Amino acid sequence: MQLVIIGNSAAGLSALEAFRKRDRTSPVTVITKESTIPYSRVLLPYYLRGKTTFKNLFIRSEDYYSQMGATCITDAVVKLLSEKQTLILENSAPVSYDRLLIATGSSPVKPPIPGLEGKGIHHLWTLADVENLMPCFKKGKSVVVLGSGFVSLQGAWAALSRGLDVTVVELLSRIMPNALDDHGAQILTASMKQSGVDLRINTRTLKVEQTHDGKLKLYFNNGHDLVSDFIIVGTGVRPNIDFLEGTGIEVDNGVVVNHHMKTTLPHVYAAGDVAQVPSTFGGPCVIHALWPTALETGRIAGACMAGENISYEGSLNMNVTQMFGITVASMGKFMDVEGAETWTDKTLSHGQYLKILMKDGVPVGATCAGGSELVSTLGLLRPLIREKISIQGDPAALKKMLAQNMTRYHQAYGKGASCAL
């Protein structure tokens, strides 16, 4: 059985490793159009900021593929011939498969703003993007970040840390709509401004012009135009699925898969950012586009491709980052929604924020802003959200409940028995 995996990032690696745990002999080919040695996208902003080294971006060793008994082809897949079970590559010979995993992730897209191309227009998505950006990250330079999502703001924070002049432009009335609730966004907004970011919400970019001294001029709907050395565009992404055209595979916002990561084409699986996967809350399939989800879905796909019949428990979004001096995190449902009870921790000191959402006594999500201890509380909640465990009373009882649970557990197995804490 020949297994082919397209993509050597979170989902592809996780699939390969899960597959090899179960099948040590079948040949595996990994195809990537980027660096042969896998690197971590999550670390790119940390590298820009100088928090980690170039070497540390690479998360597997040079002899990784030989250790895994896999072959790696560095080339782009341009077409899938599903009836022939064959992939057409840009520069190399076609590759046939018995089972195929699509783990191609997504790519940033530019909004339709005239002049938003050419010199000085960047994305922050791949290693190549960061290699292009690094020379621009010089003290005293100015950058405009278009978009205020998670990745954009990490870019803004990296630029600010390096002494650049940073403007963030957001079309909507608040930052980070996919990762924070209104209150958390307000707290982060305050720290951003305090750190010296020029944050412009409710602002539409009309056009961009190259000036004759090599800079970029941005025109906005409110007339407060500005000139900048370069722009980072972080306004949205789309799945990498061009090579699937004409196959008839079901695509909605991403490649649609079931609980086994199977697509609608025979022998073809998908995982990671490219796939629209079941959610832990049931309902329609989702693309969370997060590292943990890519790992989990990759692991399920790898196991299923090796013949094991396991099902995905559903993606639970979880996000954490420290920037502009504070830590923010969220998990599950964190926006105030109808039918859910909201509990905020009133015992916290000023500037610390923790909110837990419950539905029928079961925690469904949480968000926090402030110190890293709050992040641990979200961690404790994760198994409860996943397993739909109800908390008796309000979430203030949560820590107590967990302590009691742990205690019973210790009493049952602790004394005399060989059992860890």
Partner 1 sequence: MRFITMDIKKCVVCRNCEYACSFQHTGDFNRADSNIRVAYHDDIKICLPQTCMHCEDAWCMEICPAAAITKNEETGAVEIDSGRCAGCKMCILACPFGNIHFDKSNLISRKCNLCKGEPQCVAACISGALQYVTAGDSCRNNREIFQRFMATLHTPL
Ligand X SMILES: Cc1cc2nc3c(=O)[nH]c(=O)nc-3n(C[C@H](O)[C@H](O)[C@H](O)COP(=O)(O)OP(=O)(O)OC[C@H]3O[C@@H](n4cnc5c(N)ncnc54)[C@H](O)[C@@H]3O)c2cc1C
Which residues form the interface with partner 1 (CB under 8 A)?
Answer: 10, 40-43, 46, 51-52, 56, 59-60, 291-292, 295, 318, 320-322, 327, 329, 331, 372, 375-380, 382-384, 387, 389, 392, 399-401, 403-415, 417-421
Considering the complex, state which of residue 315 and residue 401 has its C-beta at the smaller distance from ligand X: 315
Among 17, 26, 37, 42, binds ligand X (CB under 6 A): 42
79 and 88 in contact (C-beta within 8 Å)?
yes
Which of ligand X, partner 1, none lies near 265, with the C-beta cut-off 5 to 8 A by kind?
none
Q: Which H/E stretch holds residue 284?
A: none
Taking residues 241 to 280 in sequence order and writing x for each that binds ligand X by CB under 6 A, - otherwise, the string is --x----------------------------xxx------
- Among residues 103, 233, 216, the alpha carbon closest in space to that of 156 is found at 233
Among 70, 72, 76, 188, binds ligand X (CB under 6 A): 76
Q: Which stretch binds ligand X (CB under 6 A): 34-42, 225-233, 340-348, 400-408?
A: 34-42
Minimum gap (Å) between residue 321 Cβ and partner 1: 7
Long-range contacts of 381-385 (CB under 8 A, 24+ apart): 381/331, 381/356, 382/316, 382/318, 382/331, 385/280, 385/316, 385/331, 385/332
Minimum gap (Å) between residue 14 Cβ and ligand X: 8
- Among residues 112, 103, 104, 102, the alpha carbon closest in space to that of 236 is found at 112
Q: Which stretch binds ligand X (CB under 6 A): 172-180, 185-193, 291-299, 340-348?
A: 291-299
Which letter, b or e, does each residue of 147-161 get, where b requires 16 or more Cβ atoms within 10 Å of its Cβ? bbbbbbbbbbbbbbb
353 and 187 in contact (C-beta within 8 Å)?
yes
Q: What is the distance between the alpha carbons of residues 77 and 5, in angstroms, rounded to a whole number?
A: 11
Which of partner 1, ligand X, none lies near 124, with the C-beta cut-off 5 to 8 A by kind?
ligand X
DSSP class of residue 389 equals P
Decide if residue 64 touches ligand X (CB under 6 A): no
Tokens of 255: 């490649």
Decide if residue 149 touches ligand X (CB under 6 A): no
Q: What is the distance between the alpha carbons of residues 154 and 321, in angstroms, rounded to a whole number?
A: 8
Considering the complex, state which of residue 204 and residue 238 has its C-beta at the smaller distance from ligand X: 238
Using CB under 6 A as the binding rule, the residues of this chain from 109 to 128 that contact ligand X are: 124-125
Q: How far is CA 278 from the centre of its chain?
A: 16
DSSP class of residue 350 equals T
The angle that helices 291-305 and 10-22 make with each other, rounded to 10 degrees, is 30
| Residue partners of 131: CB distance under 8 A and separation at least 6 | none
Residue 249: other Cβ atoms inside 10 A: 18
Q: What share of the chain is helix, strand, coil (3-state, %, to 5)?
A: 30, 30, 45
Task: Give the amino acid at 337.
Answer: V
Decide if residue 332 touches ligand X (CB under 6 A): no
- Among residues 92, 30, 103, the alpha carbon closest in space to that of 60 is found at 30
Decide if residue 367 touches ligand X (CB under 6 A): no
Considering the complex, state which of residue 39 and residue 230 has its C-beta at the smaller distance from partner 1: 39
Minimum gap (Å) between residue 295 Cβ and ligand X: 8
Considering the complex, state which of residue 109 and residue 406 has its C-beta at the smaller distance from partner 1: 406
Minimum gap (Å) between residue 336 Cβ and ligand X: 23
Residue 329: other Cβ atoms inside 10 A: 26
Considering the complex, state which of residue 43 and residue 305 has its C-beta at the smaller distance from partner 1: 43
Which of partner 1, ligand X, none lies near 54, with the C-beta cut-off 5 to 8 A by kind?
none
Task: Give the amino acid at 26.
Answer: S
SS3 122: strand
Considering the complex, state which of residue 105 and residue 314 has its C-beta at the smaller distance from ligand X: 105
Minimum gap (Å) between residue 322 Cβ and partner 1: 6
Q: Which stretch binds ligand X (CB under 6 A): 39-47, 167-175, 342-350, 357-365?
A: 39-47
Minimum gap (Å) between residue 382 Cβ and partner 1: 6
Decide if residue 289 touches ligand X (CB under 6 A): yes
Minimum gap (Å) between residue 360 Cβ and ligand X: 28
Residues that bind ligand X (CB under 6 A): 6-12, 31-34, 41-42, 44-45, 76-77, 103-106, 124-125, 151, 154, 240, 243, 272-274, 289-292, 294, 319, 321
